Structure 1
Amino acid sequence: MEARAALLLGTLIRGICLGVLVCVVFTACGPGSPGVTSGSRRSTPTPSPAISAEWTEYHRDAGRSGVGPAEPALTSPVVAWRADVDGDVYASPLIVNGHVLVATENNTVYSLDLFTGEVVWQKHLGDPVDASSLPCGDIGPVTGITGTPAVDEASGRLYVVAFLRSHHHMLFALSLVNGSVLTQQDIDPVGSTPSVQQERGALAIGSGFVYVPFGGLYGDCGPYHGYVVAVPLAGGQTLAYRVPSARGAGIWTAAGPAIDASGNLYVVTGNGLSRSSFDHSNAVIELSPDLQTVKSYFAPANWAALNASDADLGALGPSLLPGAVLAVGKDGVAYMLRADQLGGIGGQLSSRALCAGAFGGTARDASSIFIPCTDGLYALSIGPNGMNPVWHDARPALASPIVSAGAVWAIEPGAGMLYALSEQTGGVLYSVGLGAAMHFSTPAATDGFVVAPAGRKVVAISVVG
C-alpha cells in the first residue's frame, strides 16, 4: 500500500485539475496544429491526475475484454502528441494514473505523461539479444521486451519480462512512481532452452500471481515448448505448466492467457510434433490458478492435420464470453465452446468458417465480438441462432481491435494506419497514419484518449478534438 499511497500523494501534490490539463493539450494540439512531438523532454516523476479508466493489461484486463470508456464519444479526433522511444514497440501501451507505460525491444520501459507525451521516467533493464545470435525469428535487429507488461495497482508495480543478451528471460517489478527496480528474477522454465523460447504473449495478473506465457521463435526452430509460468506477487515458489507435447505447442499469441472470474486460465496452443497421439497442441486449455490441474480442454477434430500444416489454433487469444469461450485460428474456423467444460477433441458447441485466418486478440461490446483476420476485421454476433457475421471490413487487416469512445479502434500493421470504425456497421469514422506499426500492434484507451504504438514512436489521439 505504500507505493499506492505515493501515487495518490503525487496526484494531490500536482494539484491541477483534469479539465485545465485537457484545455492546455487541446490549445496546443487543436485544429490547425500538427500536434506535439515529444520524447526528449522530461517532467518531474510524479503521477498525472488519476483518471477513471485504467488500462492495466493487454486489452485492458486479465479477461482481455478490450473495452474502454464509452464517453467522451468520438467527435473530432486529432493527434494530441507523438513521442519517440529507443526501440520498436511490439507490446501494447498501458495507461495507469495518467501515465502511458511503453516497453521497447531495446529493453527500455517509459512512463509518459498522458496529456503531453513528456517523459516522466524511463528505465533501461539491460542489453537486449542480438537477433543474429538466434537460430530463427522475425524480430530484429535486437529482441528484448515483446510481451505486453501488466500492472498490479494494489502494490504500485509494473511487471515486465526482458530478454537479456545472456539469452535469459528476466521478470522485473518496477515502481510506477519512478521506474526503480523493486524485484527481478530469471523465469526461464526448468529444462527449457531459453534461446529458442519467446515471450511474445501478454502477461496477466490474477489469484495472487503474475502469469507469463512462452512459445517458440518465428520459424519453429529448436527444442521449444509451450509454457505458462506463475510467479507469486508476494514472493515464493514459482509454478509452471508445460504443454505435454514432445516439441512445440507454443503459447505464443500476443494476447497471452485470459483469466475468468474464478481465476482459471485459458490458453491456446500452436502446432506440435505429434501426428497421431493427442499432445494438447492446437488446443484450448483451461488451467487452475496454480497451474497444477488441466480442468478441461478442447481441440478441433482435425488437430493432427493442423499440426502437419502449421495452421495454429493458437494464433488468436481465447475470447471469454458469458458461459462460453470463442477460439479462431489460422484456418479461420470459429469454435464456440462451453466455459469450464471445453469439450475435448471435436466437442465444440458449434463451429463455422469465418475468415481467412485470425491472429492477435479480440474485443467485445454488448452485442458483438470483433475478430482480427488476414482478410480484414469481422464483427460477429453470438446468440440463440449461433455465430453470425454482422459486418466485415477489409481494412484494417491483421488488426487487433479495442472498443472505446463509441468506436472500434484497430491498427493495420502493414499500412501503419490507425482506424476508428462504427461498432454497428464497420464504416470508417476516422483514420490516421502512424508512420509505422509492428506485427499484432494494438492500442490502449482511457477517457478522451486512444494511444497507439507506432514502430519506434507512440501516438496519442484526442477523441474530441
Structure 2
Amino acid sequence: MPTTRTISVLALMLLLAAGPACTTHRPAAPWLATGVPSSARLPTGARTPVALRAGDWPTYQRDAARSGVAPEAAALGQPVHAWTAALDGAVYGQPLVVGGRVLAATEHNTVYALDAATGAVLWSRNVGTPAQGSELPCGNIAPLGITGTPVYDPVTGLVFAVAELSGGRHQLVGLDAATGAPLVSREVEPPRGQRIAHQQRGALALWQGRVLIAYGGLYGDCSDYVGTVLSVPATGDGPTLAYTVPTSRGGGIWSPGGAVIGGDRAFVAVGNGAATEGASGGYDGSDSVLALTADLRRADFFAPADWAQDNAQDLDLGSLAPALVGRHVFIAGKSGIAYTLVADRLGGVGGQVAQAQACRGFGAAAVDGDTVYLPCADALARFSVAADGSIKAGWRVPLHGAGSPVVGGGAVWAVDHGHGLLNALDPASGQVRRQLTVGSVPDFAAPTLSGPRILLGTLNGVTAFVES
C-alpha cells in the first residue's frame, strides 16, 4: 500500500514560487521531472478556493451521484460554435467548469484552465511525461496520460487528476484551480499486479474529504492487473486506503463513471475476473456491483446468477457505471440485460429486484427522476424504473456508439461517436432536435452543460457551443 513522504519546506517553496506555466501549447518544463520529489502535501495557511457558481460542473456528470442533470442549463435554442481550444493532446475526460474556468486534462499529462467565454488559456500545468505506446503491453490510447475525468474540491480549492507516467507509474496531483500551482502530489499505485498493466480511466470522485481512484486494465485485457479502488486524503497527507477485487486477475473497475456516491456508500461496477464457468473456488468478486464504505470495506454486492458464464464470454457488468434511481440501482453491462437492485440491500448473487432486456451499456447513464437514459453500443435508450423496481422500456434512437448522455435545457445530449455528432434529443420522444458537428472524439465522450454553454472534449482539445 502506498505511503506519503512529505516534501521539504524549501522544495515546496521553490515549487510554489515557480507559479503556473501559462502557454497555449505544451509547457516546456514538466513539474514531475527527474529528481523532483514525488510526494507533497497541501501547505497550511490562508487560501481562498475558487467558489462554485450556479451552473458549475465540478465532477463527472456534475454531481457525486453521476446524475448528468444540469438544472441551470439554458433552454435549447439554436446553439452555435463558440470556440475551439487546440490543446497538446486528446481530452478523454469530461471538461469541468469551476468559477468561470473550464478545466480539462490531456493524454500528454497537461491540465488546462480555459476562459469559459473565449477558450483562452488562463494557465496550464504539465505534470510529467506520459507512458508511450511502446511501453504498454496492450491498449488503445497512446500516449497514455490523464484519462479519467478530474474532480474539483471546493474545500481545498484543488483540482485533482491522476497522471500515468513513463514506466507505468501513477501519480495523483492536486493543482490550485485559480493558478495551476502544484500543491499535492503522491504516488497512487494499486497494491497488486503490474503497475504498467493498470489504467486509470474511471472519473475521480470526492467523498468525505478524500479522493477516490478506480483502476482497471488496458484495452485488450492483457497482463497482470486487478480491479482496485484507492482513497487518498484531499490534503495529500495521511494514509492511502485500498479495496482490491478478490480475484486472482482482472475484475477491472474501468467504467468512465468511476465511483458513484449514494449516501454512506460508494458504488462501483466490476468487470470480468479470473473465475469462469466450471472453475473451482466459487464467486471471486467480479462481474458485480459493489457497495463500499468510506474506509473501503465491501459492505454489499450484486452479481448475476450466471456471473461465471459472463466472465468466460466477456459479458460482465463493468462497462457501465451504476445508476442511482431513487432507492434503486440500475445497471446494464455487456450482456444487454438491465437489472435493478435495492441500493441498501444489493442482494448478492442473483439478488436483483427486476431485470429486462436492454442493450450493451457503456459509459455512464443519465438519471432524471425515475428515467434512465442508457448509452448503448449502437443507440441511446430510455428506460423508467418504477417504485417497485420494475423496468419499462421507452424510446431507442440508433447511434454509432453513444457517449455518456447529459440532460439539461429541455434536451438529452448524447454524442454519436461514429458520425462525429452531438445530438440534442427530445426527452419524451427521442426525436433529434439539434445536431452539432464535433469531429473526432474519444470513446464514451460526455458533454458538459454550463449555463448557455455546451462543452466537449475531443481528440484535439475542447470545443464549445453556446445557445443563441
TM range (shorter): 0.7 to 0.9
CA distances 1:189-215 after superposition (whole Å, capped 9, x unpaired): 234311100001110001121000000
1:69 and 1:447 in contact (8 A); partners too:
no
Q: Secondary structure at the match of 2:310?
A: helix
**Structure 1 partner of 2:42:** none
2:95 and 2:455 in contact (8 A); partners too:
yes
**Structure 2 partner of 1:430:** 434
2:49 and 2:155 in contact (8 A); partners too:
no
Whole-Å separation in 1 of the counterparts to 2:271 and 2:316: 4
What pairs with 1:301-450 in structure 2 (closer than 5 Å)?
Answer: 301-355=305-359, 357-384=360-387, 386-395=390-399, 397-450=401-454
Whole-Å separation in 2 of the counterparts to 1:454 and 1:361: 18
Whole-Å separation in 2 of the counterparts to 1:221 and 1:433: 35
Question: Once the 2 structures are TM-superposed, how far is the Cα of residue 51 of structure 1 from its aligned partner?
Answer: 3.6
- Report sequence identity in percent: 41
2:364 and 2:404 in contact (8 A); partners too:
yes
Moved more, 395-404 or 274-283: 395-404
1:392 and 1:426 in contact (8 A); partners too:
yes
Whole-Å separation in 1 of the counterparts to 2:404 and 2:254: 15
**Structure 1 partner of 2:149:** 148
Q: Scaled by the length of structure 1, what TM-score is found?
A: 0.87
Question: Once the 2 structures are TM-superposed, how far is the Cα of residue 424 of structure 1 from its aligned partner?
Answer: 1.0
CA distances 1:363-382 after superposition (whole Å, capped 9, x unpaired): 11134110000120001111
Change (3 A) 1:166 1:71: closer
Question: Once the 2 structures are TM-superposed, how far is the Cα of residue 117 of structure 1 from its aligned partner?
Answer: 0.6
- Structure 1 residue ranges, 4+ long, deviating more than 3 angstroms after superposition: 46-51
Counterpart among 278, 287, 295 of residue 290 in structure 1? 295
1:48 and 1:113 in contact (8 A); partners too:
no
Whole-Å separation in 1 of the counterparts to 2:86 and 2:376: 29
Q: Secondary structure at the match of 1:132?
A: helix
Change (3 A) 1:314 1:49: closer
Whole-Å separation in 1 of the counterparts to 2:221 and 2:243: 20
**Structure 2 partner of 1:21:** none
**Structure 2 partner of 1:280:** 285
1:168 and 1:194 in contact (8 A); partners too:
yes
Question: Once the 2 structures are TM-superposed, how far is the Cα of residue 48 of structure 1 from its aligned partner?
Answer: 9.9
CA distances 1:48-84 after superposition (whole Å, capped 9, x unpaired): 9964112111101111010113542011211111111
Q: Secondary structure at the match of 2:170?
A: strand
Change (3 A) 1:163 1:143: same
Counterpart code for 1:383: A
Question: Once the 2 structures are TM-superposed, how far is the Cα of residue 331 of structure 1 from its aligned partner?
Answer: 1.2
| Cα RMSD, aligned residues only | 2.0
Whole-Å separation in 1 of the counterparts to 2:95 and 2:400: 20
Counterpart code for 2:203: A
Counterpart among 439, 455, 460 of residue 456 in structure 1? 460
- Structure 1 unmatched runs, 5+: 1-37, 41-45
Counterpart code for 2:188: I
Q: Secondary structure at the match of 2:224?
A: coil
1:48 and 1:114 in contact (8 A); partners too:
no
Question: Once the 2 structures are TM-superposed, how far is the Cα of residue 151 of structure 1 from its aligned partner?
Answer: 0.5
What pairs with 1:261-276 in structure 2 (closer than 5 Å)?
Answer: 261-262=263-264, 264-275=265-276, 276=279
Q: Scaled by the length of structure 2, what TM-score is found?
A: 0.87
Q: Secondary structure at the match of 1:127?
A: coil
Counterpart code for 1:81: W
**Structure 1 partner of 2:16:** none
Q: Secondary structure at the match of 1:307?
A: helix
Q: Secondary structure at the match of 1:315?
A: coil
What pairs with 1:50-61 in structure 2 (closer than 5 Å)?
Answer: 51-61=53-63
Q: Secondary structure at the match of 2:318?
A: helix
Counterpart among 68, 71, 82 of residue 69 in structure 1? 71
- Structure 2 unmatched runs, 5+: 1-22, 26-47
Whole-Å separation in 2 of the counterparts to 1:159 and 1:116: 24
Question: Once the 2 structures are TM-superposed, how far is the Cα of residue 166 of structure 1 from its aligned partner?
Answer: 2.7
Change (3 A) 1:431 1:214: same
* In the alignment, structure 1 residue 108 sits paired with structure 2 residue 113: no
Q: Secondary structure at the match of 1:129?
A: coil
Q: Secondary structure at the match of 1:190?
A: coil
**Structure 2 partner of 1:206:** 207
Whole-Å separation in 1 of the counterparts to 2:370 and 2:255: 25
Q: Secondary structure at the match of 1:314?
A: coil
Whole-Å separation in 2 of the counterparts to 1:441 and 1:366: 23
Counterpart code for 1:268: A
**Structure 1 partner of 2:191:** 190
